[in-house]
């Protein structure tokens, strides 16, 4: 891998976009490598939660304009499909993904963060969708995810004005869950990942899927999916052990994840 690294810390996988000389700008190779990293994680049953961050002073400062500048309309559509498919895979990935946004998260970088399940920002993070100012629309699902996260009116303003916001405003509008000093942010993200990794993973993964699928379908179908997930959990050893411990006023110290 030239630009994407995977480090395993216990049950947490730390993915780092490492192209700091261009602020980790997304190109086709990074998207391919990110997809390959997800393949690696999927085959590694010992990684329960992922944390995604960037090297240096940027998370991802957008897609690589030097690569895009001479795209034809057909090239651009292909690039959009490729990036969108990788982000959709992240959204549908069975294991939770936390974005640890250490710096610039603009355009494709903001879209990448929004493709994760939880977003944490450092006090040096900047967010924005500057594409309209470059004569294009967001291309990796930004118009759809931003509206779902912060609401249609706020999303429309941010996209149409290309305004860059700081981490405090991102926290206020619900784009990030937590805001920490830059020197603490990654440790805090990993700590949160470890909390999730300590829970019974069948329930974690079913809950993620119920939340994600439920935002895409009508509520009756979503509740039906949740009922299936709820029932499935009752076939696990973890459910039996956890409820037995609760009734006996005992504390669960470890789960079997089955």
Report how far residue 59's alpha carbon sits from residue 136's, in angstroms, rounded to the nearest whole number.
22
Q: Is 226 a catalytic residue?
A: no
Phi–psi pair at 133, nearest 5 degrees: -65, -15
Domains and CATH numbers, the chain: 4-197 (3.90.226.10), 201-247 (1.10.12.10)
Task: Judge contact between 97 and 117, C-beta under 8 A.
Answer: yes
The rounded average pLDDT for each run of 10 residues, N- to C-terminus, in the chain (258 residues) is: 95 97 95 97 97 97 90 94 96 97 97 98 97 96 96 98 98 98 98 97 96 93 96 96 95 89
Report how far residue 20's alpha carbon sits from residue 227's, in angstroms, rounded to the nearest whole number.
45
Q: Which of 7, 21, 33, 131 is catalytic?
A: 131
CA dihedral of residues 79, 84, 87, 93 (deg, nearest 10): -120
Task: Judge contact between 6 and 91, C-beta under 8 A.
Answer: no
Task: Judge contact between 36 and 70, C-beta under 8 A.
Answer: no
Who's near 123: CB < 8 A, 6+ residues apart?
167, 168, 179, 180, 181, 182
Helices (H) and strands (E) in the chain, counts: 11, 10
Report how far residue 244's alpha carbon sits from residue 125's, in angstroms, rounded to the nearest whole number.
44
Neighbours of 109 (CB within 10 A): 30
Report how far residue 232's alpha carbon sits from residue 48's, in angstroms, rounded to the nearest whole number.
19
What is the number of alpha carbons within 13 Å of residue 253 lying toward its C-beta? Answer: 1
Report how far residue 192's alpha carbon sits from residue 23's, in angstroms, rounded to the nearest whole number.
26
- 164-189: per-residue pLDDT in tens? 999 999 999 999 999 999 999 999 99
Q: Is 111 a catalytic residue?
A: yes
- pTM over 0.85? The answer is yes
Task: Judge contact between 76 and 41, C-beta under 8 A.
Answer: no
Q: Which of 5, 7, 45, 111 is catalytic?
A: 111
């Amino acid at each position: 891998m030239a630009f994407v690294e995977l480090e395993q810390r216990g049950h947490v996988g730390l993915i780092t976009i490492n192209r700091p000389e261009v602020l980790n700008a997304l190109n086709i190779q990074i998207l391919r490598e990110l997809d390959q990293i997800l393949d690696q994680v999927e085959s590694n049953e010992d990684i329960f939660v992922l944390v995604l961050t960037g090297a240096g002073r940027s998370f991802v400062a957008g897609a690589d304009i030097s690569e895009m500048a001479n795209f034809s309309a057909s090239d651009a559509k292909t690039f959009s499909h490729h990036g969108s498919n990788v982000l959709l895979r992240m959204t549908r990935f069975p294991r939770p993904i936390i974005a640890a946004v250490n710096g610039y998260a603009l355009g494709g970088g903001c879209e990448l963060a929004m493709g994760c399940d939880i977003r944490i920002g450092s006090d040096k993070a900047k967010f924005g969708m500057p594409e309209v100012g470059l004569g294009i629309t967001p291309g990796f699902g930004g118009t759809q995810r931003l509206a779902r996260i912060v609401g249609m009116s706020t999303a429309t303003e941010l996209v149409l004005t290309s305004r860059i916001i700081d981490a405090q405003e991102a926290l206020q509008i619900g784009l990030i869950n937590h805001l920490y000093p830059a020197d603490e942010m990654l440790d805090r993200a990993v700590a949160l990942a470890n909390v999730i990794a300590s829970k019974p993973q069948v329930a974690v993964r079913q809950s993620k899927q119920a939340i994600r699928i439920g935002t895409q379908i009508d509520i009756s179908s979503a509740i039906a999916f949740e009922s299936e997930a709820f029932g499935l959990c009752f076939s696990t050893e973890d459910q039996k052990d956890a409820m037995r411990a609760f009734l006996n006023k005992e504390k669960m110290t470890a789960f079997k994840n089955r």
